[in-house]
Chains A and B, each alone.
Chain A
Amino acid sequence: MTSARDEILAAVRAALDGVEPAGPLPPPPTVRPVDDLVGLFVERVEDYRAVVTRCAADEVAATVAAALAGGSAVVPSGLGIEVPGSVVDPSTGSGHRDGLSATDLDGIDAVVTAARVGIAETGTIVLDHAEDQGRRAISLVPDLHVCVVRADQVVADVPDAVALLDPARALTWISGPSATSDIELDRVEGVHGPRTLHVVLVE
């Protein structure tokens, strides 16, 4: 008996008998230059009804503390920002059984992470879950996500981000708070992911 694998691949080859493979692909359209990258990024993130606060490098800790408004917070081990009273999640390399359980995380109000890249055109933040961002669960379960993005991390559009990102890492692209349009296509912010996204943009 042939395996499903062999049979499917044979069927694919039979279906394409005489079909030439495609030639070189036309390049996707390049990105138009943007005058004020950071300004566009802020505008587009706010368009999703996320909160954006711009601050200087020496104001980050205070800005984050203000965003947390005294609630409990979890931070990744490599955040590099002082968040008094926060719970530090062990580094991603150590295996998530040792870290906080999903139920533990459900009892925490907020998470503070860094980001890998910001996309101006679409108002998107991409996490690659390095040490300053932590494993995926910590930026998902708490209801408030405070995300610190440096101005020099902002790129113009999706192709710039794709070029920078490493597909070997788990990646999470975030464009505003969680949302749904499933009821009469009426957009509602806040379903299962963090209902509030607060971006701290460091200039």
Chain B
Amino acid sequence: MTGGTFVGMPAFPEAARAALGDTQLRHNLAHATHTIRDKRARVVAEVEEWEELRVAGTAVKEAALRDLATHLEQLEASLTARGATVHWARDAAEACAIVARVTHAHGADEVVKVKSMATAEIGLNEALEAEGIAAWETDLAELIVQLGDDLPSHILVPAIHRNRAEIREIFRRRMGDVGRPAPDDLTDEPSVLAAAARAHLREKFLRAKVAVSGANFAVAETGTLVVVESEGNGRMCLTLPEVLISVVGIEKVVPTWRDLDPLLRLLPRSSTGERMNPYTSMWSGVTPGDGPQEVHVVLIDNGRTRALADDVGRQALRCIRCSACLNVCPVYERVGGHAYGSVYPGPIGAILNPLLNGVSDPQTASLPYASSLCGACFEVCPVRIDIPSVLVDQRAQVVDSHRGDAVPKPEAVAMRATAWAFSDARRLRWAHRASGGAGRVLDRLGRTTLPGGRRAAGRLPGPGAAWTSARDLPAPPAESFRAWWQRTDGGRR
């Protein structure tokens, strides 16, 4: 069983328009983002030294990235010394193949999974299915997404777009197909739904031989991997099976054990809005007599070295996947996660996807524009990623990538025409007159009225439609500033 796939998703503006038309989705999202945003604000306000903590957390991740090769080699050595097997994967296909090979080597046809962004990014479930291995998601929200053949729409709460009634329906319809069915008296109470997930997954935890996880942090000095979670599904996967395979992005490394301190203080408050998440597991390779006795770690690149080479964008690799930026983003709040066409939605996704994959694909190239640049994301980011600045730089890269196009984009044509008109006083005067004429027409025909009473064009025909499809075009004033100045001598007449 696979979930859906993001392959072939339309570019952001098109996907966003569809999402905006879904009132249920907008209601679910507004409720969820406001709830979590308020929780975060409350627990962050408790910490007087929050800004110092942010600076310290930023410094840890920045130090790790700036000397990444050294730390990765040290991580490999520490893990190996502790009995783990370290694998390296250049891309998604290599990483998936390693996981499949290890699973097959144990004769297993199923794995239990801890929620992990890295394995979602590489499409592990689909790849394993093609190899005859069932991958069971055990995080409640991931289970909802998987059973619903759906796509994740949030980093922390992938089923944030679903309400309780929809979840009840999914559980009733699908649980029986893949294991223990939902009880007949299933209601839409969250506690009842959680109990159904507990019963459904327990048999899978008890019999699984192989587990797959990601890691929130990997400590180079000690070979310690850290998984931060809430439900205990992570502990189940990390403890009960004989074999554990952890897929870890190379940017997850932190240099020393003590470096975990600021990050463990920042992450839960930023993410779930708790002082601490219910469970954090830490393990360094194999612990004799306790938990999996065969431990694999797959270190993946999959575009990270591409992002690392970007002087402005490199900071996005500091991300600790808390999702605070999603919850405060006015764009995310309205369109939801699917419109971003990636497992990484929201403001961080709008920069991370282009950084990991480049901007040659129109869908990815549309993401840096999926923002009003309001800056709320930067304000809440626990590792101070200046997302607005990276967005602007990514926009520049998108524009640069079209400089050689045989047919220039309408925007480029408009900019060239503007430059031509602005570079000569006579031409500018003519342009003003034309614009004033257009203004008088629009003033009479404008289909909407802006606050303040100014009329605006509803929709321009031709190439202008690309502009007005997502924006109001205010009617230009009938008289330009220059004309007014001449007529009134700067207001003196």
Contact = CB atoms under 8 A, between A and B. Distances in A.
Interface size class of B (residues with CB under 8 A): 35 or more
Given A167-B224, A173-B280, A191-B197, A22 B62 contact: yes
Given A122-B276, A171-B282, A192-B205, A22 B66 contact: yes
B320 interface: no
Nearest to A8: B301
Overall SS of chain A's interface: loop
A183 B189 CA distance: 9
Contacts of A180: 140, 190, 194, 230-231
Given A173-B280, A179-B231, A182-B141, A92 B290 contact: yes
Contact of B28 (A22, A141, A178, A184): A184
Interface string B429-446: 000000000000000000
Point out which of A29, A170, A181, A183 has the most chain B C-beta atoms below 10 A from its C-beta.
Answer: A183
Interface residues on A, range: 35 or more
B309 A15 contact: yes
A188 interface: yes
Given A171-B282, A193-B279, A106 B206 contact: yes
B261 interface: yes
Contact of A29 (B53, B159, B257, B289): B53
Interface string B149-166: 000000001011001100
A167 B56 contact: no
A196 interface: no
Interface in B329-375: none
B174 interface: no
Interface in B120-176: 138-141, 144, 157, 159-160, 163-164, 167
A183 B140 contact: yes
B159 A135 contact: no
Interface string A86-127: 000001111110000011001000000000000101111000
B36 interface: yes
Contacts of A57: none
A33 interface: no
Interface in A1-46: 3-5, 7-9, 11-16, 19-22, 25-29, 32, 44
B27 to A, nearest CB: 11
A178 B346 CA distance: 28
Contact of A191 (B57, B67, B140): B140
A36 B261 CA distance: 23
Given A28-B52, A158-B264, A172 B280 contact: yes
Interface in B284-311: 284, 287-291, 299, 301, 305-306, 308-309
For the complex of A and B, list the 8 residue pairs with the smallest distance between their C-beta atoms, beginning with the closest: A193-B232, A15-B309, A192-B232, A29-B49, A11-B305, A122-B276, A22-B63, A173-B280
Interface of B: 28, 31-32, 35-36, 39, 48-49, 52-53, 55-57, 59-60, 62-63, 66-69, 72-73, 76, 82, 88-90, 94, 138-141, 144, 157, 159-160, 163-164, 167, 190-191, 193-195, 197-198, 201-202, 205-206, 219, 222, 224, 230-233, 235-236, 238-240, 250, 257-262, 264-265, 268, 272, 274-284, 287-291, 299, 301, 305-306, 308-309
Given A9-B73, A178-B231, 5 more contacts: A4-B90, A22-B59, A96-B291, A170-B290, A192-B138
